[in-house]
Structure 1
Amino acid sequence: MGWVQEMDERIRRALRAIRLPYRARLTARDDAPGLQLAQAEGLAGEQAQAVEILQLFGLTSGTPAGSDCIVLPLAGRTSASVIIATEHAACRLKVGPGEVRMYSQEGAYIHIKSGRVVEVECDELAINVKNGVRLTAGQSVEISAGGGIRLDTPQTTVTGNLTATGERGGQVEMSADMRLRGSLEQTGGIVSTGDHVAGGVSLGAHRHTGVEPGGGSTGTPER
């Protein structure tokens, strides 16, 4: 039976030489190379140096120090280790069953909720589009901006009705020439520092014919 014991010992030595996957705590990260490399400290005190963090194509994250990670030594070799999963309990946001959140260390997130609802939470949202933006809403779109909305564009077209309620401000101000095609119905007075021309007749410079002293009325304005 001596050869059996010797074979068992050889197998045990071979298994001890194979490095199994282990859990570690990320201590530093380097984004300078083409690959994202990290340093990590295992739960048993082992050190992992310049370990590549593998991520899904199209999704890149800067894993912060202190994150938990799973280190996988390829072919059981420590020198060929990669990090295949990372997590940071203090930063992770809770989600419901079937929901997804993409989040940052500061708490900004994109939350795909149940009921086909998408919620975005951030301090500033910048969208850069080369050609065009198409927003289609089956019912309505609501935008709330405490500091105002600025449209920087050479042309703005509204295909439907436009209503300015004045609930947040008492006036609508335009600093540009305005051309209106169609009828205008006004409730309230109009105050203007310039002349008014109606049907080719100037309000400020037109003349009246048939004027006689006394209490009679003037004739129609001359063009």
Structure 2
Amino acid sequence: MSSVLDDLRRRVRSIFWRARVKFVDDSGPAQKMQVLLNGLATPDNRLRAAEFGFTSNPPIDSDAIALHVAGDLSAGVVIGTNHQPSRPKGLRPGETMLYSEDGKSVYLTASGGIVVEAKGQDVAVNDAANVTWNCSGDFTLNVGGKFKVVAPGGTTLTTPTVQSSGDMQDNVGTNPHTMAQMRTIYNGHKHPVENVQGGSSTIVSDVPNSTE
């Protein structure tokens, strides 16, 4: 009887183990891990059960929680992971963040909306049929480099005013001048007037001597 109870206690104690991630195989339909259980045992091919719609590849030496069915150490699954050095800290109740080891994140804040931190790297939206921004307030885009829009079907702005703090240029493939440069040319151009006559004659000028 005592041996049965001892076996039961051992199995209960073995249901949950703290572990360390040592290797991740992310090539198949289910992610598999090698985890270090007790400083000695390093079982392979432990399936990782992650939430639908979310996937990650935890860095080596991430914390892990291993669950063993009926306390059988040969039948385990990883149900949770945590990488202490890169885990964001100080979130307020109700906040959520998607993050990577190098600091990129999508932060759903309690009071500041949604914050995307790209850490100076590229952000791409691929194969979108249509992209629509419906803004109820001000839309601010802070770009350190160049903001590029590729829209073969055209771009439509439904707005009463389009403002720019800098200059604008259209038909860049054939037009060498910005709008400010064209305005300067226009304001300074002259029309030559030939065959001036007196009296009640009507004078018609020629085309301007500056065409841009």
Q: Fold match, TM over 0.5?
A: yes
The answer on 1:83 being equivalent to 2:78 is: yes
How many angstroms apart in 2 are the aligned matches of 1:140 and 1:109? 23
Give the CA deviation at 1:84.
0.5
Give TM-score scaled by structure 2 length.
0.77
Of structures 1 and 2, the larger Rg is shown by 1
Q: Deviations over 1:129-183 (max 9, x none)?
A: 43211211111111122323223224223332122333xxxx33333689xxxxx
Cα distance change, pair 126–208 in 1 and its aligned pair in 2 (3 A) = same
Give the CA deviation at 1:190.
4.1
Contact 2:19 2:35 in 1 (8 A): yes
Q: Deviations over 1:67-98 (max 9, x none)?
A: 01011111222221000111111010011222
Give the CA deviation at 1:189.
6.0
Cα distance change, pair 156–82 in 1 and its aligned pair in 2 (3 A) = same
Structure 2 residue corresponding to 1:126, chosen from 124, 127, 140 = 124
| Aligned-residue identity in percent | 25
Cα distance change, pair 104–189 in 1 and its aligned pair in 2 (3 A) = closer
In structure 1, runs of 5+ residues without a counterpart are 1-6, 179-185, 197-202
Aligned to 2:210: none
What RMSD over aligned residues (CA atoms) do the two structures have, in Å?
3.1
How many angstroms apart in 2 are the aligned matches of 1:104 and 1:31? 16
Aligned to 1:29: 24
Aligned to 1:220: 203
Where does 1:62-211 land on structure 2 (aligned, <5 Å)?
Answer: 62-94=57-89, 95-115=91-111, 117-122=113-118, 123-154=121-152, 155-159=154-158, 160-166=160-166, 171-175=167-171, 190-191=184-185, 203=191, 211=197
Q: Which has the higher contact order (CA 8 A, sep 6+)?
A: 2
Structure 2 residue corresponding to 1:41, chosen from 36, 42, 48 = 36
Query: What amino acid does structure 2 have at the position aligned with 1:135?
Result: W
Contact 1:208 1:218 in 2 (8 A): no
Query: What amino acid does structure 1 have at the position aligned with 2:94?
Result: G
Aligned to 2:209: none
Give the CA deviation at 1:44.
4.5
Query: What amino acid does structure 1 have at the position aligned with 2:30?
Result: L
Equivalent residue of 1:12, what SS? helix
How many angstroms apart in 2 are the aligned matches of 1:148 and 1:11? 69
Equivalent residue of 1:145, what SS? coil
How many angstroms apart in 1 are the aligned matches of 2:81 and 2:72? 20
